[in-house]
C-alpha cells in the first residue's frame, strides 16, 4: 500500500514475491559472505547467463564478452548519453514516456525533444514523420522502450525496421531499454531492436535486466549489450568503472533468473495476462468513458480518464477521493494530461478493489 488505507498502483514492481530458485541462491550467497567487491567469477557468470537467455528466448547470438553488468538501466542511459551524445545536444523521447527518460537528460545537460506517439485504431504506434522531424530539430539519440512502458506496446519487426531506417538515415543513435522483454502476452513477440538490421546493431546500445520480470529492482543489477565495434572499444576502456555499484547479490539473482527462471515466467505471464483482461473488462463495465489501450506486454496500464470528465490530474483526484495511488500522466510527458499509469501486477482481488474504488469516486464526482 502507498499509505494506510490506500492502495498503491504506481510503482512498477509486483506483489508476487520472488522465484524460490532466486531466493535459495541469495541465501547461499549470504551464507558464503558474498559482500566484497565483485569477483570476476560472478561478473562472468552474469554475462554468460544473460547471453544464454538472449539466445534461448530470442535467437539473438550475443557473445558473453559483449554483455556488461551495470547497477540499473538508468545508469545505462547515463552512460549512453555520455558516450553517444554531446553536452547541450538533444535527446529524442517518445511520449508518453517512462518518467526518468524525461528527467535524466536535463540533469546531464541535454535537452529533451518530446515526440508523441500516434494513436491508430486504438493502439499507439511510432510516427516516423514525427521521428524525422525530431532529427531535423537536432535530435541525435533516440530513447526506445520496447516493450513500451507505459502504453504496453510490443513493436513488430516492420515497425522496428522503420525506426531503424530513420535513425540510420540521420546518423543517429538508439538506447534501447528492453527491461520488459520477458513479459510479453499471447499474440505478441519481443524482437530485440538491435537484431532487425545490421545498421540497427551498429547504432544501438541495449539495456536489460531481470528486475521487472523476476521482481528484483532493489538488488541493483542490469546489463548493457553492445553490438558495435565503436561501443566495444569504449567499454573496453570504461567497462570496469561503468559496472561499479552493481550488486553481487543482484548479479547472482539476475544470473539465476536468466538461466533457471523459465518456469517462473510460465506461471507469471498468464496470470498477468489474465489481470490485463480483467482490468479491461472492469473498466468497460464500471467506468464508462474511460479508455485503456490493450497492453501487449508489461504490467502497466495507461488509462485515459478524459472521457469521464477528468481532463488534467486524475492521479491527484483518485489519491484523494478513492485512496488509490496512480502515476500522474503528465509525468510521462505533455501528452499525458488526463491519463494515469496503473500497475496491474497484483492479486486479482486487489485489482478488482482498485477499480471498485475508482468507479465509486467517479460516481460521486460533481458534474
Query: Domain coordinates of the chain in residue numbers?
Result: 7-17+263-363, 20-261
Given this structure, which CATH class describes domain 20-261?
Answer: alpha beta
The per-residue pLDDT of the chain, averaged, comes to 96
| Residues 43, 242: Cα–Cα separation, whole Å | 13
Q: Which helix (H) or strand (E) holds 264?
A: helix 262-286
| pLDDT band at residue 35 under the 50/70/90 scheme | very high
Question: Which pLDDT score is estimated for 367?
Answer: 47
How much of the chain, in percent, has pLDDT values that exceed 70? 97
Q: Which of 195-199, 234-238, 316-320, 341-345 has the lowest mean pLDDT?
A: 234-238
Question: Rounded to 5 degrees, what are φ and ψ at 365?
Answer: -70, 140
Predicted confidence at residue 238, as pLDDT, reads: 77
Cell of 298: 508489461
Whether 331 shows a pLDDT value over 50: the answer reads yes
Site of grid cell 537484431: 195
Q: What CATH topology corresponds to 7-17+263-363?
A: 3.90.1150
Identical fold for domains 7-17+263-363 and 20-261, yes or no, is no
**Rounded distance between C-alpha atoms, residue 49 and residue 64, angstroms:** 8
Q: Residue 27's CB: how many other CB atoms inside 10 A?
A: 10
Contacts of 355 (CB under 8 A, 6+ apart): 279, 282, 283, 286, 287
Amino acid at each position: 500500500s502507498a499509505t494506510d488505507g490506500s492502495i498503491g498502483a504506481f510503482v512498477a514492481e509486483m506483489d508476487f514475491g520472488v522465484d524460490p530458485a532466486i531466493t535459495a541462491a541469495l541465501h547461499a550467497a549470504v551464507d558464503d559472505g558474498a559482500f566484497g567487491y565483485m569477483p570476476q567469477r560472478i561478473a562472468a557468470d552474469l554475462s554468460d547467463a544473460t547471453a544464454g537467455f538472449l539466445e534461448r528466448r530470442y535467437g539473438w547470438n550475443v557473445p558473453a564478452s559483449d554483455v556488461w553488468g551495470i547497477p540499473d538501466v538508468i545508469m545505462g542511459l547515463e552512460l549512453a548519453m555520455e558516450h553517444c551524445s554531446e553536452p547541450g545536444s538533444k535527446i529524442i523521447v517518445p511520449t508518453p514516456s517512462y518518467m526518468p527518460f524525461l528527467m535524466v537528460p536535463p540533469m546531464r545537460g541535454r535537452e529533451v525533444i518530446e515526440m508523441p506517439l500516434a494513436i491508430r485504431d486504438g493502439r499507439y504506434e511510432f510516427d516516423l514523420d514525427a521521428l524525422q522531424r525530431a532529427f531535423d530539430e537536432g535530435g541525435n539519440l533516440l530513447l526506445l522502450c520496447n516493450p513500451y512502458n507505459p502504453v504496453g506496446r510490443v513493436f513488430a519487426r516492420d515497425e522496428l525496421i522503420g525506426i531503424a531506417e530513420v535513425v540510420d538515415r540521420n546518423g543517429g543513435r538508439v538506447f534501447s531499454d528492453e527491461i520488459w522483454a520477458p513479459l510479453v502476452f499471447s499474440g505478441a513477440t519481443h524482437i530485440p531492436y538491435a537484431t532487425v538490421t545490421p545498421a540497427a546493431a551498429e547504432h544501438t546500445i541495449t539495456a536489460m535486466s531481470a528486475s521487472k520480470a523476476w521482481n528484483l529492482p532493489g538488488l541493483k543489477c542490469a546489463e548493457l549489450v553492445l553490438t558495435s565495434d565503436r561501443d566495444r572499444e569504449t567499454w573496453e576502456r570504461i567497462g570496469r568503472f561503468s559496472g561499479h555499484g552493481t550488486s553481487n547479490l543482484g548479479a547472482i539473482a539476475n544470473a539465476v533468473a536468466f538461466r533457471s527462471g523459465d518456469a517462473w515466467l510460465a506461471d507469471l505471464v498468464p496470470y498477468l495476462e489474465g489481470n490485463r483482461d480483467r482490468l479491461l473488462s472492469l473498466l468497460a463495465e464500471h467506468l464508462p468513458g474511460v479508455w485503456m489501450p490493450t497492453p501487449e506486454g508489461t504490467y502497466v496500464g495507461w488509462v485515459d480518464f478524459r472521457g469521464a470528465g477528468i481532463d488534467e490530474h486524475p492521479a491527484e483526484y483518485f489519491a484523494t477521493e478513492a485512496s488509490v495511488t496512480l502515476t500522474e500522466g503528465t509525468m510521462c510527458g505533455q501528452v499525458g494530461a488526463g491519463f494515469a499509469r496503473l500497475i496491474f501486477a497484483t492479486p486479482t482481488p486487489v485489482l478488482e478493489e482498485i477499480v471498485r474504488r475508482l468507479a465509486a469516486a467517479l460516481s460521486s464526482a460533481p458534474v
